[in-house]
Amino acid sequence: MLTKRVVVTGKIAGVFFGVLLTRNIFGALIGLYLGHLFDGAMKRLANKQNVEEWLTSEDSKQSIFFYTTFSVMGLMAKSSGKVTAEHIEVASELMDTMRLSAEQKEEAKDAFREGKLLGFPLKKKIQLFKQHFGNRRDLCQFFIEMQIQTAYSDAILEQAEYDILQSIAKQLGFSQRELKQLIAMWEAELRFQNYKKQKEQSEQKYRRREHSNRQSQPQPNSPSLLDAYAVLGVSERDASRDIKRAYKKLMAQNHPDKLVAKGLPPEMMEVAKQKTQDIQSAYEIIKKHRKI
């Protein structure tokens, strides 16, 4: 509304002062022209302000997080030379976990495809990401962890994938040691997730056979105690109070509502919830072992 008023005011004021100063039609035309130039300048200024407001808005930040996540996933998938079925499956599972609408899935696929293109400007994209989330270390870590998950889609971390992770981590302020710890934590978490999947599949098979076969239900191998420590990023040598502190820190750091408030797209809440469940499961195993 303000922009429209300014546009009208500029032209009217131009004509008014043109007639007032020259008292003829030529003055009015000159005034109209100058008013038109003024209106154009004010409109460009208003548009620039609107763009700046959008770039700093929550919608913009969440869009940047969403786009960067899937485009870098595309780059990661293509880094070894060929996008595998496993890479596509991980991306599809993530979309399902996020409960994306059909339109949102198309946006995610477009971003994924863009990341696969030759010459994808990774540093430029991460720089833009950093401008919006550089002061949110928990969100930066969440982003890196999602890329680690993509890299491990085929259960193997290729050198090209590690190089991309290292480049991202360095640009976002994470050391090589911190990156290696995040990778170790994800490897352990992946075993937790596989255990849960196997358990669910085993229970489903048991229920289907329940009426025809009364044999005992087979149990998949449980996650190891070492995996539980690794999920929390601690060691079996650490004191119980330190382990509890690490657990609470991870739970706070990955709290879905807090992450969304800081700029995480709401659709990614389910991913954060899954992570907190893995953290809780790991801590329960440790507590049971230590009797705390």
- End-of-domain residue from the set 173, 202, 236: 173
Claim to verify: residue 82 and residue 167 sit in the same structural domain:
yes
Beta-carbon-side half-sphere exposure of residue 93 (alpha carbons within 13 Å): 12
- Nearest residue to 6 via CA among 35, 49, 48: 35
- Helix (H) or strand (E) holding 95, with range, is helix 85-97
Q: Are 75 and 164 in contact (CB under 8 A)?
A: yes
Question: Between helices 225-232 and 176-209, what is the axis angle to 10°?
Answer: 130
pLDDT of res. 144: 96
Is pLDDT of 279 > 70? yes
- Nearest residue to 192 via CA among 54, 285, 77: 285
Claim to verify: residue 160 and residue 63 sit in the same structural domain:
yes
Claim to verify: residue 69 and residue 157 sit in the same structural domain:
yes
Claim to verify: residue 80 and residue 158 sit in the same structural domain:
yes
Question: How deeply is 50 buried, as exposed, middle or buried, from its count of CB atoms within 10 A (0-12, 13-18, 19+)?
Answer: exposed
The structure tokens listed for 237 are 């040598």
When pLDDT is cut at 50, 70 and 90, the band that residue 270 belongs to is confident
pLDDT of res. 51: 37
Residue 218 lies in a domain: no
Claim to verify: residue 24 and residue 41 sit in the same structural domain:
yes
Residue 276 lies in a domain: no
Claim to verify: residue 64 and residue 168 sit in the same structural domain:
yes
Claim to verify: residue 7 and residue 88 sit in the same structural domain:
no
* Distance in angstroms (rounded) separating the CA atoms of residues 174 and 144: 10
When pLDDT is cut at 50, 70 and 90, the band that residue 2 belongs to is very low
Percentage of residues of the chain with pLDDT beyond 70: 71
Residue 206 lies in a domain: no
Claim to verify: residue 47 and residue 67 sit in the same structural domain:
no
Terminal Cα-to-Cα distance of the chain (whole angstroms): 63
Residue 76 lies in a domain: yes
Domain of 131, in residue numbers: 59-173
pTM for this predicted structure: 0.70
- Nearest residue to 71 via CA among 105, 123, 116, 106: 116
* pLDDT tens by residue, 218-245: 455 567 888 899 999 999 999 999 999 9
* pLDDT tens by residue, 10-27: 545 544 554 455 555 554
Residue 14 lies in a domain: yes
- End-of-domain residue from the set 12, 30, 51: 51
Residue 203 lies in a domain: no
Domain count, the chain: 2
Claim to verify: residue 117 and residue 44 sit in the same structural domain:
no
* pLDDT tens by residue, 50-90: 434 434 445 678 889 999 999 999 999 999 787 888 888 88
* Distance in angstroms (rounded) separating the CA atoms of residues 94 and 115: 16
Tell me which amino acid residue 203 is: E
DSSP code, position 175: -
Tell me which amino acid residue 228 is: A
Residue 153 lies in a domain: yes
Claim to verify: residue 38 and residue 131 sit in the same structural domain:
no
Cα torsion at 178, 92, 85, 87 (round to 10°)?
-20
Residue 180 lies in a domain: no
Average pLDDT value over all residues in the chain = 79
Q: Are 153 and 74 in contact (CB under 8 A)?
A: no
